[in-house]
Amino acid sequence: MELKDFLFWLTAGGGAGIVGYWVMDQVAKYRPGLSSEFKRYLSLAIAAGLAMLAHYVLVVMAYAPTPESVQAWVEALFSVAAVAVGLSQAIHGRVDLRDRVRILPVE
């Protein structure tokens, strides 16, 4: 995998959500006293921030086209952040909550 591929995976492939989830898992191991609400907001910020940083690096390195206006920048950064946050929460729901919540009866 080349740097360009990795950066695109972080932004468009939801990789920032996966990495953000992993980072929060590590934080929880070393800081067990953090409240679940704080960890939730921190995980959102990590995933979104990582995705936006990766997108910025893609643009700076000319792997992606430069947005032509402030509005285009905001839209692009929002888009990559939303994918990362959504995937991070989906992973959290699947991995951490699957044994706590049962929607359908278990047979």
pLDDT digits (tens, 9 = 90+) for 35-71: 888 888 888 899 999 999 999 999 999 999 999 999 9
Query: What pLDDT is attached to residue 104?
Result: 53
Q: What DSSP letter does each residue of 28-66 carry, written as one string? A: HHH-TTS-HHHHHHHHHHHHHHHHHHHHHHHHHTTSSPP
The H helix count followed by the E strand count for the chain is 4, 0
Mean pLDDT of 14-19: 85
Span 71-106, pLDDT tens digits? 999 999 999 999 888 888 887 777 766 655 555 555
Query: What pLDDT is attached to residue 12?
Result: 84
- Whole-angstrom distance, CA of residue 37 vs CA of residue 107: 33
How buried is 100 (Cβ within 10 angstroms: 0-12 exposed, 13-18 middle, 19+ buried)? exposed
Query: What pLDDT is attached to residue 69?
Result: 95
- Whole-angstrom distance, CA of residue 104 vs CA of residue 52: 37
Query: Given the structure tokens 């907001």, which residue do they identify?
Result: 41
